[in-house]
Structure 1
Amino acid sequence: MLKKLITALVAVSAPAFAQDLEGNDTASNWKVTHFERFGIFLSSCDERMEGDVLNQRCYVRYVDVFSPQPEFGAQFFFIVNGEDGPEVDFGMEPGTLFGPNGFRIEDMGGDLWRTRRPGCLTGLSCTFEGEDATALLQSMEDGDAFRFTFRDRHGNAQDLTWPLAGFSDAMADFAAQSELRGL
């Protein structure tokens, strides 16, 4: 049941990654060609035929279902290949509210990185591209944990810690698999 719930959440929350050929939000006919776990992070690749063209993609992801029913809550993270390098996307449910320091990367010495982007702090669009993505990803490789302190859409206080052990290996695998496929 939980596996189906996570699959449904990812499909609904990330339509750019889970649309069929008609644009419907579904996993459709993607075939997994690579799947490797590094700590909490998954490095995956899949493919499908679109007419006569083979469409391939690779990504790193993590889905955190932090609250079960009846007050379900989840947050997800994706890294994909963008036009200017990696793109990083966080998905939070509408109604999620972070404090000004609630979205951060920590190490033993304190905070390495944080965002105060309104979209990220309010559960709206939270995507990093270009130099912003590069800085975020480097901090994830250097840090110990990604911390999220917020009120979920039900008004409940949440304090999530995502350990970053294995993240560097996930990124190396993502880069190698993307290069192998010419992405």
Structure 2
Amino acid sequence: MRTLLLFLTLLAAPASAQDLQGNDTASNWVNTHYSAFGIWKSICDERPEDGQLNQRCYIRWVDVFSGRPHFGGQFIFITPQEQGYEVEFGIEPGTLFAPNGFRIERDETVVWRTRWPGCLTGLGCRFDGRRADTIIVQMQKGGAFLFDFRDGRGVSRSLNWPLQGFPDAWADFQTQARARGLID
């Protein structure tokens, strides 16, 4: 649990990330861009690696839904990949979602949902290629991500991540990533 707390704390700071050995520590990443659009953050940073400059851009939201002493949080990262994008959700181990509890709704209609076991149980939740594209398209159309689950302590939770501001965050992320040569 302390590792997750440290990880989410580091995610909340624009210039923090893993060090070159993969440890979750404040590192030598230098923030070069940070813009907020509602809850959605468009971020770029860079650091030298093996004599070359490594640059990255991403969209992020970290939702700390329970403070001390029973810390709990959930996050999303959207990053460019060699072939398209990756959408990753960070979910605490022990989380159990309702069967329809991981979804995007617009006008009280479910427009996207996952029933992927890894997502619904906190074991791992990543989408790439067409699956990532489908999520991103729905996010741009508005509505909200809705999450209904029991956390690792058995507490029922409902999170609402409004998608208002996401289209602007996406446009900013695209502009910044393109300027750095991270996407075409």
Give the drift of 1:22.
2.4
**Residues 137-161 of structure 1: CA deviation (Å, up to 9, x unaligned):** 1111113110000000100000000
Report the equivalent of 1:41.
40
Q: Percent identity?
A: 58
CA contact (8 A) 1:6 1:65 kept: no
Partner Cα separation in structure 1 for residue 113 and residue 35 of structure 2: 28
Give the drift of 1:84.
1.2
Report the equivalent of 2:75.
76
2:157 is aligned with what amino acid? Q
Partner Cα separation in structure 2 for residue 176 and residue 30 of structure 1: 20
RMSD (Å), alpha carbons = 1.7
TM-score by length of structure 1 reads: 0.90
Partner Cα separation in structure 1 for residue 5 and residue 129 of structure 2: 29
Report the equivalent of 2:94.
95
2:171 is aligned with what amino acid? A
Q: Name structure 1 gaps, 5 residues minimum.
A: none
Partner Cα separation in structure 2 for residue 7 and residue 71 of structure 1: 14
Report the equivalent of 2:30.
31
The count of corresponding residues between Structure 1 and Structure 2 is: 175
Q: Secondary structure at the match of 1:121?
A: helix
1:24 is aligned with what amino acid? N
Give the drift of 1:170.
0.6
Partner Cα separation in structure 1 for residue 65 and residue 9 of structure 2: 14
Query: What pairs up with 1:1-183 in 2 under 5 angstroms?
Result: 8-9=7-8, 11=10, 18-183=17-182
Give the drift of 1:18.
2.7
Q: Secondary structure at the match of 1:66?
A: strand
Structure 1 pair 7–170 and aligned structure 2 pair: CA distance change class (3 A): farther
**Residues 92-113 of structure 1: CA deviation (Å, up to 9, x unaligned):** 1100000110000001141110
Shifted more, 55-64 versus 135-144: the winner is 135-144
Give the drift of 1:11.
4.4
Partner Cα separation in structure 2 for residue 34 and residue 6 of structure 1: 25
TM-score by length of structure 2 reads: 0.90
Partner Cα separation in structure 1 for residue 172 and residue 17 of structure 2: 22
Partner Cα separation in structure 2 for residue 115 and residue 80 of structure 1: 19
CA contact (8 A) 2:43 2:58 kept: yes
Q: Name structure 2 gaps, 5 residues minimum.
A: none
Partner Cα separation in structure 1 for residue 46 and residue 165 of structure 2: 25
**Residues 1-32 of structure 1: CA deviation (Å, up to 9, x unaligned):** xxxx97642548xxxx9321223222310000
Q: Secondary structure at the match of 1:170?
A: helix
CA contact (8 A) 2:7 2:24 kept: no
